[in-house]
Homo-oligomer: A and B are copies of this chain.
């Protein structure tokens, strides 16, 4: 099987980590019978400055027509609001209907400095406040701006269903490696703020409950947490959680919070998942402070490559990458500066590649 992968480095360290993602795909063992072809695509603030648009039509068209998946680096936000600029990754998620943003956060044997954490945040990726329908009026006391938070039954249902499926898949993986985890039952925690937003978050909660009550999820324990107390619990007992499903904005916040628990945003991958398409995307930003120094941590990107492969049905290839990355972290010899090490992006990458 040959997969065609769009490469969208974006801005800043996106340009340093996406090439590492390409290299890991090219270096997968030939026994997997997987081949890759690549196409370079533009997006980001630099692209905006050059062309007037942060997400050229050509990028979207090529992804739709030619590609099986893609890797997205990071984009810089302008430091003040710039007319006409808007985030290309948010637009891409909507244009390709990549309805789920999947963000696994886990400690490895070597990188845990507390209890082992192994959870995944499944974030709705197309609506909520990210519909970006805003308006401003000039009132007697100055400006008043409003934004729409939209929650639909359809999007809430499909995100909850994929969260349930991920919980079941994780349980299968645990069953295949007995003794590694002590979790006996898959669990999904629904996050919302329905005590204030009874209609919107109330709909999310109710729809999630309904979707997860399906026969196929009968082995899944379903719980819920109000978002503020979810953040509190996430920090107090992260080892308790398995799959957390949340509307877009809460998922955004929770995943950065969870990343803090494992030591560095530089470790946390994500995949933007739609029907038959996935974009791997490290959770970190464009990191202008370390741009161009060659010390960006490539781990989040390498894991995002694996996550993309998983959602494209290539679980064996994904497992190879995960195992190599975990071994790199467990040995701890080649760690980038964000992890307290001294290794360059290239050195971390080389260490992972030799373990494939």
Contacts and interface: CB of A to CB of B under 8 A. Distances in A.
A231 B203 contact: no
Contact of A232 (B90, B150, B202, B265): B265
B256 A229 contact: yes
Nearest to A252: B228
A143 interface: yes
Given A148-B148, A150-B144, A235-B257, A198 B86 contact: yes
Pick the most buried of A143, A145, A256: most chain B CB atoms within 10 A of its CB.
A145
Contact of A200 (B147, B150, B202, B261): B147
Interface string A109-146: 00000000000000000000110101110010111111
Interface stretch (A94-102, A151-159, A295-303, A346-354): A151-159
A230 to B, nearest CB: 8
Contacts of A81: 194, 198, 202, 206
A145 B150 contact: yes
B285 A259 contact: no
A339 interface: no
A236 B260 contact: yes
Contacts of A226: 77
Interface in A153-175: 153-154, 157
A322 to B, nearest CB: 23
Given A81-B198, A200-B146, A229 B129 contact: no
Contacts of A136: 199, 203
Interface string A253-290: 10111011100010000000000000000000100000
7 contacts: A81-B198, A134-B197, A141-B152, A145-B200, A146-B149, A146-B200, A231-B257
Instruction: For the complex of A and B, list the 5 residue pairs with the smallest distance between their C-beta atoms, beginning with the closest.
Output: A142-B153, A235-B260, A134-B199, A228-B256, A77-B195
Given A144-B152, A229-B256, A231-B253, 12 more contacts: A81-B194, A90-B196, A129-B196, A132-B197, A136-B203, A139-B152, A145-B200, A147-B197, A228-B256, A232-B257, A235-B235, A235-B260
